[in-house]
Amino acid sequence: MRDSNADNVVDQVWSTALDKITKPGDLPSGRPALGDQMDLAAAQAGTAALLATVPAFNKLLYNSGYAASARNTYLILRRLGMPADFFWKYEQWNPKRALDTLDKIVSKVFTTMLSKQHVGVLKLTAADPVTNRFEVSFESCAECSGLHAHDPMCFFHAGSFAGMLAAMLDHEFDAWEVECVALGAAACRFEIGERTDRQTQTRWGRWADEFTYAFEPAARFQEDLDGETVRELGETVDIGYYQMLLASTVLTNMEVVERSCLDAGRNIGTKLADIVRERFGADPQEAVPAFYRRLRYASLDVTGLDSGEASGFRVVVSEAPEHLGVLESSALVPFLSGELEGMLSALTGRDLALATTDVDGHDLVLRYAPS
Ligand SMILES: [Zn+2]
């Protein structure tokens, strides 16, 4: 069951992203200390961990991307003043005109938005109005650059691109990924066909049903902290992309994935503890904030609570994308709170658990106590 309130938040995140391309000059950053960009590795970790651990999360990611993109593409086209029957009798257009016209709109809105957010470089590469088959390529893909997989893994973008065309042409489409940067390709490439088409169903079904993935957070973060180049578009991404990804997938499915987010976060935090200790020192109160600042993910203030057996930590989190702007009231923090739980436990060698979550002004206050 979809939560329409959550859908509203998703739409607000989209609308903020659009404002950045339609309004002249830069809008004031929501993050005075950290700025609008965060490390790509930090933006990838949550969904990568869920893809690796939660059965059928790939389909949830796909469907969430599809729904948000279709809804917002429709709103964007109306906002651009395009009449609802713009693509009337589209199936009778010649392929060249179809490709040119579609490509113009895709470039004007989506390619611009995604490039501006450093999410990737989108290109519509083929369009056949007779068979309703399309192809898009996506270079420097934020979803998978720097990750390694055996199966194409960009389900969020596949869903988003299918949803985009669905809203433009008023048909139901599905997209499946045929080449992926995570498998060594130069760009991710997607084929798109009508949902009622037998071949579409077979290709999409095979991709989605047979998908398996293992996520190695330590390797990915090691590479990021070493400053290695994983894509041409750079090693950071706009926080608006991360907010869009989280809001579409986690917020609209909170009751299904909240526990999994906490577990996945805890697992990553545990696995990253060695790296954090090695690079930022043995004192969690110093090392943990240094790590998150280095990732441009959040500003943290970690204080030890010394009361004998009950000692734990109080963590004040500022400027985390999941608790910022339109997301500030959504309590979208299970992943981050789990990650801190795992990291603090592993760094101290004690079993700590999240005890309370509070909001103090724009900040989040998390308290960890022995479990
Ligand atoms: Zn890919």
CATH of the domain at 265: 3.30.70
User: What is the distance in A from the centroid of ligand 1 to the CA of 253?
Assistant: 23
Last residue of a domain, one of 186, 210, 225: 225
Contacts of the segment 323-326: beta carbons below 8 A, 24+ positions apart: 323/362, 323/364, 324/30, 324/31, 324/239, 324/243, 324/362, 325/16, 325/30, 325/243, 326/9, 326/12, 326/13, 326/16, 326/243
Q: Residue 148: its pLDDT value, please?
A: 97
Same domain, 144 and 266: no
Same domain, 282 and 330: yes
Render each residue's pLDDT in the chain as its tens digit; 371 residues: 455 788 888 888 888 877 877 775 656 668 999 999 999 999 999 999 999 999 999 999 999 999 999 999 988 888 888 877 788 788 888 888 888 988 988 998 889 889 988 999 999 999 998 899 999 999 999 999 999 999 999 999 999 999 999 999 988 999 999 999 999 999 999 999 999 999 999 999 999 999 999 999 999 999 999 999 999 999 999 999 999 999 888 888 888 889 999 999 999 999 999 999 999 999 999 999 999 999 999 999 999 987 665 689 999 999 999 999 888 877 788 899 999 999 999 999 999 999 999 999 999 999 999 98
- In sequence order, the 6+-apart residues with CB closer than 8 A to the CB of 331 are 357
User: What is the distance in A from the centroid of ligand 1 to the CA of 353?
Assistant: 35
What is the Cα–Cα distance from 103 to 219, expressed in whole angstroms?
37
Same domain, 322 and 221: no
Q: Residue 176: its pLDDT value, please?
A: 98
**Strand 188-194 to strand 133-139: parallel, antiparallel, or no bridges (unpaired)?**
antiparallel
Q: Residue 17: its pLDDT value, please?
A: 79
Same domain, 174 and 217: yes
What is the Cα–Cα distance from 100 to 347, expressed in whole angstroms?
56
Same domain, 198 and 278: no
Angle at 321 between CA 264 and CA 222, to 5 degrees: 55
> Dihedral sign, CA of 182, 102, 114, 231?
positive
What is the Cα–Cα distance from 135 to 204, expressed in whole angstroms?
14
Amino acid at 36: D
User: What is the distance in A from the centroid of ligand 1 to the CA of 157?
Assistant: 8
Residue 99's alpha-carbon distances to 109, 269, 284, 292, in angstroms, are 15, 46, 55, 44
User: What is the distance in A from the centroid of ligand 1 to the CA of 336?
Assistant: 25
Q: How many domains does the chain have?
A: 2
What is the Cα–Cα distance from 337 to 335, expressed in whole angstroms?
6
Same domain, 189 and 296: no
- CA 156, distance to chain mean position in Å, is 8
Residue 94: exposed, middle, or buried by beta-carbon count in 10 A (0-12, 13-18, 19+)?
A: exposed
Is residue 120 in a domain? yes
What is the Cα–Cα distance from 241 to 156, expressed in whole angstroms?
11
Is residue 246 in a domain? no
What is the Cα–Cα distance from 168 to 110, expressed in whole angstroms?
12
User: What is the distance in A from the centroid of ligand 1 to the CA of 365?
Assistant: 36
Q: Residue 1: its pLDDT value, please?
A: 42
Specify the 3-state DSSP secondary structure of 32.
Answer: coil
Is residue 251 in a domain? no
Same domain, 50 and 125: yes
| Boundaries of domain holding 355 | 256-370
Q: Tell me the whole-structure pTM to 2 decimals.
A: 0.94
Maximum alpha-carbon separation in the chain: 77
Residue 349's alpha-carbon distances to 220, 286, 288, 369, in angstroms, are 24, 17, 15, 13
Same domain, 24 and 139: yes
Specify the 3-state DSSP secondary structure of 259.
Answer: helix
User: What is the distance in A from the centroid of ligand 1 to the CA of 186?
Assistant: 10
User: What is the distance in A from the centroid of ligand 1 to the CA of 341?
Assistant: 30
Is residue 231 in a domain? no
Same domain, 200 and 302: no
Same domain, 323 and 365: yes
Contact 166, 71 (CB under 8 A): no
Q: Residue 47: its pLDDT value, please?
A: 94
Is residue 158 in a domain? yes
Q: Which of the 8 DSSP states describes residue 131?
A: T
Is residue 241 in a domain? no
Same domain, 262 and 221: no
User: What is the distance in A from the centroid of ligand 1 to the CA of 356?
Assistant: 38
Same domain, 127 and 215: yes
Is residue 232 in a domain? no
- In sequence order, the 6+-apart residues with CB closer than 8 A to the CB of 242 are 38, 42, 43, 321, 322
- What values do phi and psi take at 176, rounded to 5? -130, 145
> Among 110, 120, 115, 112, which residue's Cα sits nearest to residue 144?
120
User: What is the distance in A from the centroid of ligand 1 to the CA of 266?
Assistant: 26
What is the Cα–Cα distance from 44 to 55, expressed in whole angstroms?
18
- The tokens describing 244, both together, are 């869009």
Is residue 151 in a domain? yes
Q: Residue 91: its pLDDT value, please?
A: 82
What is the Cα–Cα distance from 320 to 214, expressed in whole angstroms?
26
CATH of the domain at 116: 3.30.1380.20
User: What is the distance in A from the centroid of ligand 1 to the CA of 179?
Assistant: 7
User: What is the distance in A from the centroid of ligand 1 to the CA of 213?
Assistant: 13
